[in-house]
Amino acid sequence: MRSAPTILHLDMDAFYASVEQASKPSLRGKAVVVGGLGPRGVVATASYEARVFGVHSAMPMAQARRLAPHAACLVPRFAFYRSLSEQVMGLLKALSPLVEPLSLDEAFVDLEAAGAAWDEPSARRVGARLRADIREVTGLTGSVGLAASKMLAKIASERAKPDGLVVIEPGTERALLGPLSVRTLPGVGPATGDHLRRAGIHTVQELAEAGEDELVRLLGKAHGHALYAMALAHDDRPVVAEREAKSVSVEDTYDVDIHDRVRVGTEVRRLADRCVRRLRGAGLSGRTIVLKVRRYDFSTLTRSETLRGPTDDPAVVREAAARLLDSVDTTGGVRLLGVGVTGLADYTQEDLFAQAAGEREEPSPEEPDATPVPEDRPPPERRWPAGHDVWHTEFGHGWVQGSGLGRVTVRFETPGSPPGRVRTFRTDDPGLRPADPLPLVRGGDAGDDGAQPAADGTG
């Protein structure tokens, strides 16, 4: 453990939703939900105003609409989020060569590595300056935690939310951790938390009092040792500089073997959704879906399926995992299940728009369709994802509020304008085109200046 709080954890506040509010003056201070709008859509991020109604990430979008019926529900603009994330990560890398991104909106920084901070006052100054720089460059807010370890820095940033800074000074860690729930510690998920609760262990203090031998007996050697050390505030994990991920996966171990085939299928679908959330959080997509099954006799099977192209569509991953499960005999019981994605790639905008709209491109046939197409057949209707940028030849830059029944409703406003007026057009209006996002801060480099529609029409 270090003697100074020189590990920094940054977590941008409700990142996707905050970007949308900053882009759209009419949504500032209002409930905003970002995610898939299709029948199986899932919430990616909810603004703090929406969280008041119980909306949270990973919730089905249909449930979010019921909880917050007046919220603006928008399709993600991942390419824009990535551009803003790159600006934030650039600020972090100017502080230290050791930056460990966890997702588009979250990272650890080792401030000691480049001498940026060496004690509590210098670390606090760096954190305060970073928050000011993020606001100046992006127009967004982030919460900063500073501590002598990664675990405590992350806990500090969570306590700082929203838009704050918390420093945990060395020597105060045990007193801070003691009354917190065991779920606060890394590696304590729902299954482990329930297992500890049944053993009468609810808080970190109770975890420490149980002793290392008892935790090893309850959780196994590796997990028991690790959790006991963390309960004592010992966390020597280093900040690891950015490296290319080779796979994204999640798995759960069950206290009691699962024999019900329907339950096994339900767990696989749930794991597939969690895996996709991690995949999207890292700004990635992947081609190969992997299923891991550890059976009652500890035999472990893996099955994989490679798709035609990379995806981050939860429906695609769920269906592939279900097909893989069909090839595995689980009648004796299942101890562990896992779903992963390999063959990772960066997002492509074309994939993003199709997936965010809840659509999947059908594989092209091997042979061309010989059926003649009437020359007077109307062209396919253009699609206008809610929240995405558009340009109209008469009214300028705006964003899609919604579309359907051959109509698209657009609110014409920009990040620096007052709330704008709403107009409705035919979906095939020749004056309406997709556009690139505008920078949130004047002089910013995310997007273009909005004077022209996007050259490729993707936004």
- Model pLDDT, residue 376: 47
Q: At residue 365, does pLDDT exceed 50?
A: no
Q: Are strands 142-147 and 165-167 parallel, antiparallel or unpaired?
A: parallel
Residue 336 and residue 254 in contact, taking contact as beta carbons nearer than 8 Å = yes
Q: What percent of the chain has pLDDT over 90?
A: 63
Q: Mean pLDDT, the chain, as a whole number? A: 86
List the domain boundaries for the chain. Answer: 1-169, 175-232, 247-346, 384-434
Residue 106 a catalytic site member: yes
Q: How far apart are CA 245 and CA 225, in angstroms?
A: 27
Phi-psi region of 103 (alpha: psi -120 to 50; beta: other; left: phi over 0): beta
Highest mean pLDDT among 241-255, 291-305, 334-348, 423-437 belongs to: 423-437
**Residue where the block lists tokens 């550890």:** 294
Annotated binding site for Mg(2+): 11, 105
Q: How far apart are CA 262 and CA 223, in angstroms?
A: 30
For domain 247-346, the CATH superfamily is DNA polymerase, Y-family, little finger domain (3.30.1490.100)
- Considering 106, 173, 267, 413, which one is annotated as catalytic? 106
pLDDT-derived band at 381, boundaries 50, 70, 90: low
CATH class, 384-434 region? mainly beta
- Model pLDDT, residue 354: 40
Of 5-14, 244-253, 280-289, 370-379, minimum mean pLDDT range = 370-379
Residue 13 and residue 161 in contact, taking contact as beta carbons nearer than 8 Å = yes
pLDDT tens-digit series, residues 416-459: 999 999 999 999 999 999 999 999 988 655 544 444 444 333 33
Q: At residue 296, does pLDDT exceed 90?
A: no
pTM of the model: 0.70
Annotated binding site: 11, 105
Of 57-61, 411-415, 420-424, minimum mean pLDDT range = 57-61
Q: How far apart are CA 365 and CA 182, in angstroms?
A: 53
Q: At residue 47, does pLDDT exceed 80?
A: yes
> In sequence order, what are the residues at sequence separation of 6 or more whose Cβ sits closer than 8 angstroms to the Cβ of residue 51?
14
CB atoms inside a 10 Å sphere around CB 28: 15
Highest mean pLDDT among 12-21, 95-104, 210-219 belongs to: 12-21
Q: What percent of the chain has pLDDT over 70?
A: 87
CATH class, 175-232 region? mainly alpha
Q: Does 3.90.1300.10 match the CATH number of domain 1-169?
A: no
pLDDT tens-digit series, residues 226-250: 899 999 999 888 998 866 667 899 9
